[in-house]
Protein backbone atom coordinates (compact mmCIF):
# COMPACT_ATOMS: atom_id res chain seq x y z
CA UNK A 1 0.00 0.00 0.00
CA UNK A 2 2.92 2.32 0.75
CA UNK A 3 4.31 1.76 -2.77
CA UNK A 4 0.93 2.57 -4.28
CA UNK A 5 0.75 5.82 -2.36
CA UNK A 6 4.19 6.87 -3.64
CA UNK A 7 3.30 6.24 -7.30
CA UNK A 8 2.84 9.33 -9.44
CA UNK A 9 -0.16 9.82 -11.65
CA UNK A 10 -1.59 12.18 -14.25
CA UNK A 11 -4.22 13.61 -11.93
CA UNK A 12 -4.76 16.77 -13.96
CA UNK A 13 -4.57 15.18 -17.45
CA UNK A 14 -7.34 15.88 -19.95
CA UNK A 15 -8.81 13.71 -22.67
CA UNK A 16 -8.17 14.87 -26.23
CA UNK A 17 -11.88 15.52 -26.75
CA UNK A 18 -11.68 18.09 -23.95
CA UNK A 19 -9.09 20.24 -25.78
CA UNK A 20 -9.45 22.43 -28.85
CA UNK A 21 -6.54 21.61 -31.17
CA UNK A 22 -6.11 24.36 -33.78
CA UNK A 23 -5.09 22.84 -37.12
CA UNK A 24 -4.87 26.00 -39.27
CA UNK A 25 -4.86 29.72 -38.62
CA UNK A 26 -5.60 32.70 -40.82
CA UNK A 27 -4.61 36.31 -40.22
CA UNK A 28 -6.06 39.44 -41.81
CA UNK A 29 -5.40 43.14 -41.23
CA UNK A 30 -7.90 45.79 -42.26
CA UNK A 31 -8.89 49.23 -40.98
CA UNK A 32 -6.21 49.11 -38.25
CA UNK A 33 -7.71 45.89 -36.88
CA UNK A 34 -6.31 42.37 -36.81
CA UNK A 35 -8.62 39.44 -37.43
CA UNK A 36 -7.45 36.00 -36.34
CA UNK A 37 -9.15 32.88 -37.72
CA UNK A 38 -8.74 29.45 -36.15
CA UNK A 39 -9.75 26.15 -37.74
CA UNK A 40 -10.91 23.22 -35.61
CA UNK A 41 -11.52 19.80 -37.20
CA UNK A 42 -13.77 17.17 -35.67
CA UNK A 43 -11.69 14.20 -34.47
CA UNK A 44 -14.11 11.77 -36.11
CA UNK A 45 -13.10 13.16 -39.50
CA UNK A 46 -9.37 12.67 -38.92
CA UNK A 47 -9.26 8.94 -38.21
CA UNK A 48 -10.09 6.48 -40.98
CA UNK A 49 -13.44 4.83 -40.31
CA UNK A 50 -14.89 1.53 -41.45
CA UNK A 51 -17.70 1.68 -44.00
CA UNK A 52 -19.12 4.72 -45.82
CA UNK A 53 -19.04 8.13 -44.17
CA UNK A 54 -21.13 11.20 -44.76
CA UNK A 55 -20.00 14.78 -45.13
CA UNK A 56 -22.05 15.69 -42.06
CA UNK A 57 -19.59 13.69 -39.93
CA UNK A 58 -16.66 15.81 -41.14
CA UNK A 59 -17.29 19.07 -39.31
CA UNK A 60 -14.97 22.04 -39.53
CA UNK A 61 -15.40 24.88 -37.07
CA UNK A 62 -13.96 28.33 -37.77
CA UNK A 63 -13.28 30.79 -34.95
CA UNK A 64 -12.95 34.52 -35.59
CA UNK A 65 -11.47 37.05 -33.21
CA UNK A 66 -10.68 40.73 -33.70
CA UNK A 67 -8.52 43.30 -31.94
CA UNK A 68 -6.28 46.29 -32.50
CA UNK A 69 -3.30 43.95 -31.98
CA UNK A 70 -2.91 40.33 -32.98
CA UNK A 71 -2.63 39.29 -29.33
CA UNK A 72 -5.99 40.94 -28.59
CA UNK A 73 -7.55 39.16 -31.59
CA UNK A 74 -6.30 35.77 -30.34
CA UNK A 75 -7.52 36.46 -26.81
CA UNK A 76 -10.90 37.35 -28.29
CA UNK A 77 -11.03 33.79 -29.68
CA UNK A 78 -10.52 32.31 -26.22
CA UNK A 79 -13.56 34.04 -24.71
CA UNK A 80 -16.05 31.66 -26.34
CA UNK A 81 -13.85 28.64 -27.04
CA UNK A 82 -15.55 26.65 -24.23
CA UNK A 83 -12.41 24.55 -23.64
CA UNK A 84 -8.65 24.88 -23.44
CA UNK A 85 -7.19 25.78 -26.85
CA UNK A 86 -3.76 24.59 -28.01
CA UNK A 87 -1.72 25.75 -31.02
CA UNK A 88 0.78 22.88 -31.01
CA UNK A 89 -0.93 21.06 -33.90
CA UNK A 90 -1.06 23.95 -36.39
CA UNK A 91 -0.07 22.62 -39.81
CA UNK A 92 -0.93 25.62 -42.01
CA UNK A 93 -0.89 29.41 -41.72
CA UNK A 94 -2.71 31.61 -44.23
CA UNK A 95 -2.05 35.35 -44.50
CA UNK A 96 -4.32 37.81 -46.25
CA UNK A 97 -3.02 40.13 -48.95
CA UNK A 98 -3.31 43.05 -46.51
CA UNK A 99 -1.21 41.23 -43.91
CA UNK A 100 1.70 41.13 -46.38
CA UNK A 101 1.90 44.92 -46.47
CA UNK A 102 4.58 45.40 -43.82
CA UNK A 103 2.85 43.42 -41.05
CA UNK A 104 4.88 40.20 -41.16
CA UNK A 105 7.39 41.11 -38.46
CA UNK A 106 4.63 42.10 -36.04
CA UNK A 107 2.56 38.98 -36.82
CA UNK A 108 5.32 36.45 -36.23
CA UNK A 109 6.70 38.22 -33.16
CA UNK A 110 3.28 37.64 -31.59
CA UNK A 111 2.69 34.09 -32.85
CA UNK A 112 6.09 32.73 -31.89
CA UNK A 113 6.28 34.31 -28.44
CA UNK A 114 3.82 31.77 -27.07
CA UNK A 115 6.25 28.89 -27.61
CA UNK A 116 3.43 26.61 -28.82
CA UNK A 117 3.71 27.28 -32.55
CA UNK A 118 6.39 25.32 -34.38
CA UNK A 119 8.50 26.60 -37.27
CA UNK A 120 7.32 23.88 -39.64
CA UNK A 121 3.71 24.75 -40.67
CA UNK A 122 3.09 25.34 -44.37
CA UNK A 123 2.47 29.01 -45.06
CA UNK A 124 0.33 30.64 -47.74
CA UNK A 125 -1.27 33.90 -48.79
CA UNK A 126 -4.74 34.54 -50.17
CA UNK A 127 -7.05 37.18 -51.57
CA UNK A 128 -10.11 35.13 -50.69
CA UNK A 129 -12.42 35.38 -47.70
CA UNK A 130 -10.58 33.58 -44.91
CA UNK A 131 -13.60 31.78 -43.46
CA UNK A 132 -14.37 30.24 -46.86
CA UNK A 133 -10.76 29.27 -47.46
CA UNK A 134 -10.44 27.50 -44.11
CA UNK A 135 -13.63 25.49 -44.72
CA UNK A 136 -12.65 23.47 -47.81
CA UNK A 137 -14.11 20.20 -48.97
CA UNK A 138 -12.20 16.96 -49.51
CA UNK A 139 -12.72 14.53 -52.39
CA UNK A 140 -14.36 11.16 -51.61
CA UNK A 141 -15.19 12.17 -48.02
CA UNK A 142 -11.56 11.95 -47.03
CA UNK A 143 -10.24 13.62 -43.91
CA UNK A 144 -9.95 17.39 -44.10
CA UNK A 145 -6.33 16.88 -42.99
CA UNK A 146 -5.52 15.37 -46.40
CA UNK A 147 -6.29 18.53 -48.39
CA UNK A 148 -3.53 20.35 -50.26
CA UNK A 149 -3.45 22.97 -47.51
CA UNK A 150 -1.93 20.41 -45.11
CA UNK A 151 -0.13 18.03 -47.49
CA UNK A 152 1.00 20.12 -50.48
CA UNK A 153 4.11 18.12 -51.36
CA UNK A 154 2.20 15.02 -52.49
CA UNK A 155 0.59 16.94 -55.32
CA UNK A 156 3.64 19.14 -55.95
CA UNK A 157 5.78 16.10 -56.70
CA UNK A 158 3.30 15.14 -59.41
CA UNK A 159 2.64 18.65 -60.76
CA UNK A 160 5.20 21.27 -59.71
CA UNK A 161 3.09 24.34 -60.30
CA UNK A 162 3.72 26.62 -57.30
CA UNK A 163 6.32 25.56 -54.77
CA UNK A 164 5.11 25.15 -51.15
CA UNK A 165 7.22 26.66 -48.38
CA UNK A 166 7.32 26.29 -44.61
CA UNK A 167 7.24 29.02 -41.99
CA UNK A 168 10.99 28.89 -41.25
CA UNK A 169 11.77 29.62 -44.92
CA UNK A 170 9.73 32.82 -44.79
CA UNK A 171 11.28 33.84 -41.47
CA UNK A 172 14.79 33.35 -42.86
CA UNK A 173 14.03 35.82 -45.64
CA UNK A 174 12.75 38.43 -43.18
CA UNK A 175 16.14 38.49 -41.46
CA UNK A 176 18.10 39.15 -44.66
CA UNK A 177 17.99 42.62 -46.27
CA UNK A 178 17.80 41.33 -49.86
CA UNK A 179 16.27 37.85 -49.65
CA UNK A 180 13.31 37.00 -51.88
CA UNK A 181 10.77 34.33 -50.98
CA UNK A 182 7.99 33.07 -53.23
CA UNK A 183 4.94 32.72 -50.97
CA UNK A 184 2.31 30.50 -52.65
CA UNK A 185 -1.22 31.83 -53.02
CA UNK A 186 -4.24 29.59 -52.37
CA UNK A 187 -7.95 29.75 -53.14
CA UNK A 188 -10.96 27.43 -53.29
CA UNK A 189 -11.91 28.25 -56.87
CA UNK A 190 -12.82 24.79 -58.17
CA UNK A 191 -14.21 24.40 -61.69
CA UNK A 192 -12.80 20.91 -62.27
CA UNK A 193 -14.25 18.38 -59.86
CA UNK A 194 -17.92 17.79 -59.06
CA UNK A 195 -19.92 14.99 -57.50
CA UNK A 196 -22.87 15.14 -59.88
CA UNK A 197 -24.89 17.66 -57.92
CA UNK A 198 -22.47 20.33 -56.79
CA UNK A 199 -18.99 21.69 -57.34
CA UNK A 200 -17.44 21.75 -53.85
CA UNK A 201 -14.78 24.28 -52.83
CA UNK A 202 -11.38 22.61 -53.13
CA UNK A 203 -7.98 24.04 -52.21
CA UNK A 204 -5.78 25.00 -55.15
CA UNK A 205 -2.61 27.04 -55.55
CA UNK A 206 -3.15 29.87 -58.02
CA UNK A 207 0.15 31.80 -57.98
CA UNK A 208 2.72 33.23 -55.60
CA UNK A 209 3.54 36.51 -53.91
CA UNK A 210 7.10 37.80 -54.13
CA UNK A 211 8.04 38.87 -50.59
CA UNK A 212 11.18 40.88 -49.86
CA UNK A 213 12.15 43.08 -46.90
CA UNK A 214 9.01 42.00 -45.07
CA UNK A 215 6.59 43.24 -47.74
CA UNK A 216 4.92 41.87 -50.83
CA UNK A 217 6.05 43.19 -54.20
CA UNK A 218 2.98 41.71 -55.89
CA UNK A 219 1.35 38.51 -57.05
CA UNK A 220 2.56 36.46 -60.02
CA UNK A 221 0.32 33.87 -61.63
CA UNK A 222 -0.34 31.92 -64.82
CA UNK A 223 2.06 32.28 -67.74
CA UNK A 224 3.78 35.16 -65.95
CA UNK A 225 5.24 32.62 -63.50
CA UNK A 226 6.68 30.15 -66.04
CA UNK A 227 10.18 31.60 -66.18
CA UNK A 228 10.47 31.85 -62.40
CA UNK A 229 9.85 28.12 -62.17
CA UNK A 230 13.06 27.46 -64.12
CA UNK A 231 15.18 30.16 -62.46
CA UNK A 232 14.22 30.57 -58.80
CA UNK A 233 12.46 27.41 -57.56
CA UNK A 234 14.39 25.16 -55.17
CA UNK A 235 12.91 21.93 -56.56
CA UNK A 236 10.84 21.18 -59.66
CA UNK A 237 9.96 17.49 -59.73
CA UNK A 238 7.92 17.43 -62.93
CA UNK A 239 6.09 20.08 -64.90
CA UNK A 240 4.66 20.04 -68.44
CA UNK A 241 6.13 22.13 -71.25
CA UNK A 242 3.84 22.56 -74.26
CA UNK A 243 5.91 23.20 -77.37
CA UNK A 244 3.97 24.91 -80.16
CA UNK A 245 5.07 24.91 -83.77
CA UNK A 246 3.56 23.59 -86.97
CA UNK A 247 0.07 22.90 -85.63
CA UNK A 248 -0.64 26.42 -84.41
CA UNK A 249 -3.02 26.34 -81.46
CA UNK A 250 -2.30 22.69 -80.66
CA UNK A 251 1.12 21.81 -79.20
CA UNK A 252 3.37 19.65 -81.38
CA UNK A 253 5.11 18.24 -78.32
CA UNK A 254 4.46 17.91 -74.60
CA UNK A 255 7.52 17.41 -72.42
CA UNK A 256 7.62 16.61 -68.71
CA UNK A 257 10.48 18.67 -67.31
CA UNK A 258 12.56 17.48 -64.36
CA UNK A 259 14.78 19.50 -61.99
CA UNK A 260 15.74 22.60 -64.01
CA UNK A 261 18.83 24.38 -62.72
CA UNK A 262 19.86 27.93 -63.58
CA UNK A 263 23.24 29.60 -63.15
CA UNK A 264 23.22 33.41 -63.01
CA UNK A 265 26.11 35.60 -64.12
CA UNK A 266 26.01 39.37 -63.49
CA UNK A 267 27.86 42.07 -65.43
CA UNK A 268 28.10 45.73 -64.47
CA UNK A 269 27.35 48.21 -67.24
CA UNK A 270 26.92 51.95 -67.53
CA UNK A 271 23.13 51.54 -67.39
CA UNK A 272 23.03 49.18 -64.41
CA UNK A 273 23.46 45.41 -64.16
CA UNK A 274 23.03 42.84 -66.94
CA UNK A 275 22.28 39.24 -66.02
CA UNK A 276 23.07 36.22 -68.17
CA UNK A 277 21.11 33.05 -67.41
CA UNK A 278 22.24 29.51 -68.16
CA UNK A 279 19.50 26.92 -67.63
CA UNK A 280 19.76 23.15 -67.96
CA UNK A 281 16.86 20.73 -67.68
CA UNK A 282 16.01 17.12 -68.41
CA UNK A 283 12.71 16.03 -69.90
CA UNK A 284 10.66 13.07 -71.07
CA UNK A 285 8.12 13.08 -73.88
CA UNK A 286 4.57 12.81 -72.60
CA UNK A 287 2.85 13.43 -75.95
CA UNK A 288 3.90 14.24 -79.52
CA UNK A 289 2.00 14.95 -82.70
CA UNK A 290 4.92 14.94 -85.12
CA UNK A 291 7.10 11.89 -84.53
CA UNK A 292 9.22 12.44 -87.66
CA UNK A 293 11.42 15.11 -86.10
CA UNK A 294 14.68 13.93 -84.60
CA UNK A 295 15.30 14.20 -80.84
CA UNK A 296 17.76 17.05 -81.44
CA UNK A 297 15.12 19.08 -83.30
CA UNK A 298 12.65 18.49 -80.47
CA UNK A 299 15.23 19.69 -77.96
CA UNK A 300 15.90 22.78 -80.05
CA UNK A 301 12.19 23.67 -80.18
CA UNK A 302 11.90 23.13 -76.42
CA UNK A 303 14.89 25.43 -75.84
CA UNK A 304 13.25 28.20 -77.84
CA UNK A 305 10.01 27.79 -75.90
CA UNK A 306 11.73 27.95 -72.51
CA UNK A 307 13.89 30.92 -73.47
CA UNK A 308 10.77 32.80 -74.57
CA UNK A 309 9.07 32.00 -71.27
CA UNK A 310 12.05 33.22 -69.23
CA UNK A 311 12.27 36.49 -71.15
CA UNK A 312 8.51 36.99 -71.00
CA UNK A 313 8.49 36.49 -67.22
CA UNK A 314 11.38 38.90 -66.74
CA UNK A 315 9.82 41.65 -68.87
CA UNK A 316 6.35 41.38 -67.35
CA UNK A 317 7.47 41.20 -63.72
CA UNK A 318 10.06 43.97 -64.17
CA UNK A 319 7.33 46.24 -65.53
CA UNK A 320 5.45 45.70 -62.25
CA UNK A 321 8.53 46.18 -60.05
CA UNK A 322 8.64 42.51 -59.06
CA UNK A 323 11.94 40.64 -58.65
CA UNK A 324 10.66 37.08 -59.00
CA UNK A 325 14.07 35.82 -60.22
CA UNK A 326 15.73 37.00 -56.98
CA UNK A 327 18.32 39.07 -58.84
CA UNK A 328 18.76 41.58 -56.01
CA UNK A 329 19.53 38.69 -53.66
CA UNK A 330 22.05 37.33 -56.19
CA UNK A 331 23.90 40.67 -56.09
CA UNK A 332 23.75 40.75 -52.29
CA UNK A 333 25.31 37.30 -51.98
CA UNK A 334 27.79 37.28 -54.89
CA UNK A 335 28.56 40.96 -55.59
CA UNK A 336 28.01 42.90 -52.34
CA UNK A 337 29.86 45.98 -53.65
CA UNK A 338 27.53 46.22 -56.64
CA UNK A 339 24.57 45.65 -54.35
CA UNK A 340 25.64 48.60 -52.20
CA UNK A 341 26.03 50.78 -55.28
CA UNK A 342 22.88 49.76 -57.08
CA UNK A 343 20.27 47.92 -55.08
CA UNK A 344 20.62 49.46 -51.62
CA UNK A 345 20.50 53.04 -52.98
CA UNK A 346 17.58 52.60 -55.36
CA UNK A 347 13.96 52.61 -54.28
CA UNK A 348 13.23 50.19 -57.14
CA UNK A 349 16.57 48.66 -58.19
CA UNK A 350 15.06 46.21 -60.70
CA UNK A 351 14.49 49.14 -63.09
CA UNK A 352 18.28 49.17 -63.70
CA UNK A 353 18.43 45.44 -64.39
CA UNK A 354 18.63 44.02 -67.91
CA UNK A 355 18.47 40.47 -69.18
CA UNK A 356 21.39 39.52 -71.40
CA UNK A 357 22.00 36.02 -72.74
CA UNK A 358 19.53 33.28 -71.96
CA UNK A 359 20.98 29.89 -72.81
CA UNK A 360 18.82 26.82 -72.27
CA UNK A 361 20.02 23.25 -72.56
CA UNK A 362 17.24 20.64 -72.83
CA UNK A 363 18.13 16.95 -72.69
CA UNK A 364 15.35 14.55 -73.70
CA UNK A 365 15.96 11.30 -71.86
CA UNK A 366 13.25 9.07 -73.24
CA UNK A 367 9.66 8.79 -74.37
CA UNK A 368 7.74 6.27 -72.28
CA UNK A 369 9.87 3.10 -72.41
CA UNK A 370 11.88 4.06 -75.50
CA UNK A 371 15.22 5.81 -74.93
CA UNK A 372 16.76 8.13 -77.48
CA UNK A 373 20.39 7.51 -78.35
CA UNK A 374 22.86 10.24 -79.35
- Report whether pLDDT(50) > 70: no
Dist. CA 20–CA 41, nearest whole Å: 9
Return the pLDDT at 54.
Answer: 46
Q: Are 187 and 204 in contact (CB under 8 A)?
A: yes
Q: How many helices (H) and strands (E) does the chain have?
A: 10, 15
DSSP letters for 171-211: HHHHTSSS-EEEEEEEE----S---SS------EEEEEEEE
Spatial distance between the Cα atoms of 360 and 17, rounded to a whole number of angstroms: 56
For residue 52, pLDDT over 50 is answered with: no
Dump pLDDT digits (tens) for 211-222.
998 899 999 999
pTM over 0.85: yes
- Asked if pLDDT for residue 74 goes beyond 70, the answer is yes
Position 204 pLDDT exceeds 50: yes
Helices 104-113 and 70-78 cross at an angle (nearest 10°) of 40
- Give tens-digit pLDDT for 176-185: 888 999 999 9
- Is 239 within 8 Å of 305 (Cβ atoms)? no
Residues facing 27 on adjacent strands: 36, 95
Provide the 10 A C-beta neighbour count for residue 105. 13
Amino acid sequence: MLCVILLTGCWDSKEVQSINFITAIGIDYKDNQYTAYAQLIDFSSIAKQEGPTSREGSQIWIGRGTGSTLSMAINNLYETSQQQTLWTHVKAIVLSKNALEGRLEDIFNTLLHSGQLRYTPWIYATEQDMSTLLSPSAILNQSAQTTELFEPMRLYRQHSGYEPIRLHQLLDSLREPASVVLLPSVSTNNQTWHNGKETPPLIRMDGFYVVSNGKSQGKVTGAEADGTRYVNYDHVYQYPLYVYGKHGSKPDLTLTLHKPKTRIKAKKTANGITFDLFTSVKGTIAEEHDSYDSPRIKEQEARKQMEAQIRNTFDRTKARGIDSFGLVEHLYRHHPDWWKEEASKQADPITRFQLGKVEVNVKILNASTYKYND
